[in-house]
């Protein structure tokens, strides 16, 4: 059994919480962009509140643990591991609830190179518990605005986890996908699920645009977010995102596997 103390030690050692690799300068810049309603940072959330720069800094200090001092403008960000653990417990409660109901679940990630294994472990356990892991819009093209201009991507699934990849990249079902913040893939997936008359997800599990885009559309959505990503925390504060777990998203992929183990143990789904 992975205890909270053992997981806390892992979070600190792997720099998933505590002093993390995310830079303070970049985080403050993204808070300013969010306050200016830059869609690259909103990633699917349409804020109801004004969310000025100072308000965002206060929210991120409360929900994530970053310094609330606006004079602190350089160095590394800090994520409070106690907040990470509390959010993981809430995340696990949601996973356990949908498992007990046998409800359909949709997984998606904009960080396949880091988080695919984390989600895949959860998807495997939910499938074994009788939940349908949905894969709508397999192979559908999605036009996403990137820093290189409008680029066409293909929606694909690896181990039941949705991601996007360049159309010419690899064989279907191969790895890796591309890093994306866009909410367009989850909108395409959910629209396809509705059009087919198939089940809609009772829970969407993901990050970036998958988390925010699904939450904005009214679906129960849970997932991780880094300290430079204010949109999921705003979505949570305004009631559109169910659970946001503050955790650094740039670590090695294997560092996230103990988090999946902890969630499954808390949800009573570990084998």
Report pLDDT for 198.
85
With the C-alpha atoms ordered 240, 245, 246, 252, is the resulting torsion angle positive or negative?
Answer: negative
Please state the φ and ψ torsions of residue 235, each to the nearest 5 degrees: -60, -40
Q: Does residue 121 carry a pLDDT above 70?
A: yes
- pLDDT tens by residue, 151-188: 888 999 999 999 999 876 555 545 578 889 999 999 99
- Residue 39's SS3 state is helix
- CATH tag for 4-266 (out of 2.60.40.1120, 3.30.300.30, 3.30.565.10, 3.40.50.10490): 3.40.50.10490
Mean pLDDT of the chain: 94
Inter-residue contact 162 to 155 (CB < 8 Å): yes
Report pLDDT for 144.
81
Residue positions counted in the chain: 271
With the C-alpha atoms ordered 92, 197, 116, 227, is the resulting torsion angle positive or negative?
Answer: negative
Q: Does residue 231 carry a pLDDT above 70?
A: yes
Q: Which of 144, 129, 187 is nearest to 162 (CA)?
A: 187
- pLDDT tens by residue, 88-102: 999 999 999 999 999
Report pLDDT for 240.
98
- pLDDT tens by residue, 252-263: 999 999 999 999
For the chain, the C-alpha Rg in angstroms (whole number) is: 17
Mean pLDDT confidence for 57-68: 98
The token duo for 80 is 């409070």
Q: Which residues make beta-bridge pairs with 244?
A: 223
∠ Cα 230 234 238 (to 5°): 175
Model's pTM, two decimal places? 0.95
Q: Does residue 81 carry a pLDDT above 70?
A: yes
Report pLDDT for 150.
74
C-alpha 43/C-alpha 184 separation (Å) is: 9
């Amino acid at each position: 059994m992975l205890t909270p103390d053992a997981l806390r030690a892992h979070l600190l050692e792997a720099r998933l919480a505590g002093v993390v690799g995310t830079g303070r300068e970049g985080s403050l810049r993204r808070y300013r962009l969010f306050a200016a309603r830059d869609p690259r940072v909103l990633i699917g959330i349409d804020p109801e509140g004004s969310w000025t720069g100072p308000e965002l800094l206060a929210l991120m200090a409360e929900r994530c643990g970053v310094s609330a001092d606006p004079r602190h403008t350089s160095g590394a960000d800090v994520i409070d591991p106690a907040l990470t653990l509390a959010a993981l417990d809430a995340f696990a409660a949601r996973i356990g609830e949908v498992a007990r109901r046998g409800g359909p679940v949709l997984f998606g990630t904009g960080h396949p190179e880091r988080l695919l294994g984390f989600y895949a472990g959860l998807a495997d356990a939910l499938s074994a518990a009788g939940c349908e892991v949905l894969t709508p819009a397999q192979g559908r093209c999605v036009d996403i605005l990137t820093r290189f201009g409008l680029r066409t991507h293909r929606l694909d699934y690896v181990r039941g986890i949705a991601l996007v990849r360049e159309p010419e990249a690899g064989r279907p079902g191969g790895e890796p996908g591309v890093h994306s913040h866009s909410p367009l893939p989850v909108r395409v997936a959910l629209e396809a699920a509705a059009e087919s008359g198939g089940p809609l997800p009772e829970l969407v599990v993901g990050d970036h645009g998958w988390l925010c885009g699904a939450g904005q559309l009214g679906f129960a959505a849970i997932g991780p977010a880094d300290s430079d990503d204010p949109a999921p925390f705003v979505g949570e504060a305004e009631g559109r995102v169910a659970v946001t777990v503050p955790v650094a998203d740039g670590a090695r992929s294997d560092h996230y596997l103990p988090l999946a183990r902890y969630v499954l143990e808390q949800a009573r789904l570990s084998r």
